[in-house]
Structure 1
Amino acid sequence: MAGKVDGFVRPGSGRGLLDVYGDRFLLKLLVRKEIKIRYRGSVLGLLWSYVKPLMQFLIYFIALGIFLNLEHGTPNYAIYLFAGIVLVNFFTEALSNSTRSIVDNRDLIRKIYLPRELFPVATVWVSAAHFLPQMIVLIGACLLVGWAPSVLQLAAVVLIFIMVSVLATGLGLMFGAVNVYFRDSENIVDMIVMVVTWASPVLYVWSMVQRAMGPWYWLYQLNPMTTAVEVFHWAFWEPTLKADQVVTGTIPPNLFTVWLPVSMVVTLVVLFLGQLTFRRLSVHFAQEL
């Protein structure tokens, strides 16, 4: 069989992410290891998954909602804000950690051969484990203000979670591989993480961007995270509004007919490019590390 010599797999000739599925047991072990290492010696442990987003929410709500008066122009602004923060935090944490995953596991990579894709994918799963308690808080807050979602809205939440996970995996594979050769890739990712929060309608409503960009608004919508946050708002924020608060401009036009399919295509392209880059560069990981 091509890529195999006497039962051994030649490095760089594996099946990429398909090997991760085949090594699910190893993936589970890596996820457990990452969680244990992250909270080793920590007093609060997994509770940091609640503390950090809640602190972000308070800062943004006070600065933008109260001081800049966005709360009065956006009904249930607290739900609107927190729904966006939860999703963006998941993406930024997954991307940041997957970028460092290969370098952080250099000792293991130098000693044995196993599918290198396991490390970025494991960090995305760890971020998903942190995402779950934040979602519980979000759902609890929504229920307090009368959240009554439809089946389609609940299905949209699952779809967006999968899309953002795939997007973070694709970018994590790409930057994780490049970071082995150029360590300043982490600085580029730090800038991306900073931009994502402001380049998606988390702290403000999409209509503000449309008024400012005019005919160039479509460029803003090409960002998959923009669409992801808008769908999250549709699923969590819109069902909390009263009948007289739901207006035509609650969600962007063509969100589901145009921008969601476009975002899914962009996400798949990013995953393909990330896997391609990773496979090309992973052959010499052990030597470079």
Structure 2
Amino acid sequence: MTTTDIDDGLVVQGTGGGLREVVDRRHLLAMLVRKELRVRYRASVLGLGWSYVKPAVQFAVYFVGLGLVLRQTAIGDYAVYLFGGLVVVTTFSEAVGNATRSVVANGELVRKIFLPRELFPVASGCVAAVHLVPQLVVLVVGTLVAGWRPDAVGLLALAAGLLLVGVLALGLGLLLSALDVLYRDVENVVDLVLTVLVWTSPVLYPWQLVADLLGADSWLFTAYQLNPLTVAVELVHRGTWATASPGNLARTAPDLAARTVFAFAVAALLVLVGQRVFRRMSGRFAQEL
């Protein structure tokens, strides 16, 4: 046996098969998700019920402040519009924020045993998906009360919007969690960005206001429209708010189908880049932690 034969059989310690190995070891993923949920709601009276309380309180604050006090009447069915956007932004923020800290937070496991490191940011995304379910229940009930009549295109748009959030959060989670191991400032920067995230997409306001401010033909407005998170918010609006009242559909953003294709392409590219950076850096995780 030659030296080359030996070298070909070696695997760099701390690296694995990437996301494919996460799928193969989904039983470990399920264990990590259960662990995170147990830790989060330990000694809690409401437990998972907080998944309903937190978004409901956030929704109430924005609805009273913007919808009643500031008289936001430019948007029909404003409560449905607002909550649909909040579902997207809060889920994305939770997934990305927790994924960024996931490897550092599980430093003991990283140092002591080998398992696919990608499990940690993916598990954070799965926990956010668990918390998404009660928000969707509240959203569907609210839209039905407002007069929502689901249509095939709308349901497809709703599913596409939620899937886009998941793919986008996965790509950023992989990238940022790896960088956070080496540079702990990353999580602070992410917190700052997530704080203002709700204002970077048409969640609290109609997209027409941005067009009036920046100019409908300006490159800044084009960049705003091509933002994948903006596309995700508009897809959820198309799936819920757009058919709550007859006049809402005419106020949806144009060219949504083409921008959806572009947004998924960007999100998929982020997953590839995030996975590549994560795998290249994962061999140093145990040393850095």
In 1, Cα distance between equivalents of 2:75 and 2:115: 50
Name 2:191's counterpart in structure 1: 190
Q: CA deviation at 1:262?
A: 1.1
Q: How does 1:1-289 map to 2 (within 5 A)?
A: 4-5=9-10, 9-70=11-72, 72-214=73-215, 215=218, 216-241=220-245, 243=246, 245-246=247-248, 248=250, 250-256=251-257, 258-289=258-289
Deviations 1:44-79 (A, max 9, x none): 211111111111111111111112211x22111000
Q: CA deviation at 1:171?
A: 0.6
In 1, Cα distance between equivalents of 2:201 and 2:248: 21
Q: CA deviation at 1:195?
A: 2.4
Q: CA deviation at 1:213?
A: 0.8
Deviations 1:167-224 (A, max 9, x none): 1111111111111111111111112212221101000011111111111310101210
Unaligned runs of 5+ in 2: none
In 2, Cα distance between equivalents of 1:234 and 1:247: 7
Q: Which moved more, 1:157-166 or 1:109-118?
A: 157-166
The 8 Å contact of residues 83 and 138 in structure 1, kept in 2 or not, is answered as yes
Q: What's the secondary structure of 1:73's corresponding residue?
A: coil
Q: What's the secondary structure of 1:124's corresponding residue?
A: helix
Q: What's the secondary structure of 2:44's corresponding residue?
A: coil
Q: What's the secondary structure of 1:253's corresponding residue?
A: coil
Matched letter for residue 126 of structure 2:
W
Q: Which moved more, 1:110-119 or 1:210-219?
A: 210-219
TM normalised by structure 2 equals 0.93
Q: CA deviation at 1:247?
A: 5.8
In 1, Cα distance between equivalents of 2:68 and 2:283: 53
In 2, Cα distance between equivalents of 1:41 and 1:236: 36
Q: CA deviation at 1:15?
A: 2.3
Q: What's the secondary structure of 2:240's corresponding residue?
A: helix
In 2, Cα distance between equivalents of 1:113 and 1:12: 7
In 1, Cα distance between equivalents of 2:9 and 2:113: 17
In 1, Cα distance between equivalents of 2:184 and 2:20: 27
Matched letter for residue 43 of structure 2:
G
> CA, structure 1 residues 61+4, in 2 after alignment: closer, same or farther (shift >3 Å)?
farther
> CA, structure 1 residues 210+286, in 2 after alignment: closer, same or farther (shift >3 Å)?
same
In 2, Cα distance between equivalents of 1:152 and 1:201: 20
The 8 Å contact of residues 15 and 116 in structure 2, kept in 1 or not, is answered as no
Q: CA deviation at 1:13?
A: 4.5
Spell out structure 1 runs of 4+ moving beyond 6 A: none
Residue-pair matches, total: 281
Q: C-alpha root-mean-square deviation of aligned residues, in Å?
A: 1.5
In 2, Cα distance between equivalents of 1:284 and 1:169: 21
The 8 Å contact of residues 167 and 268 in structure 1, kept in 2 or not, is answered as yes
Unaligned runs of 5+ in 1: none
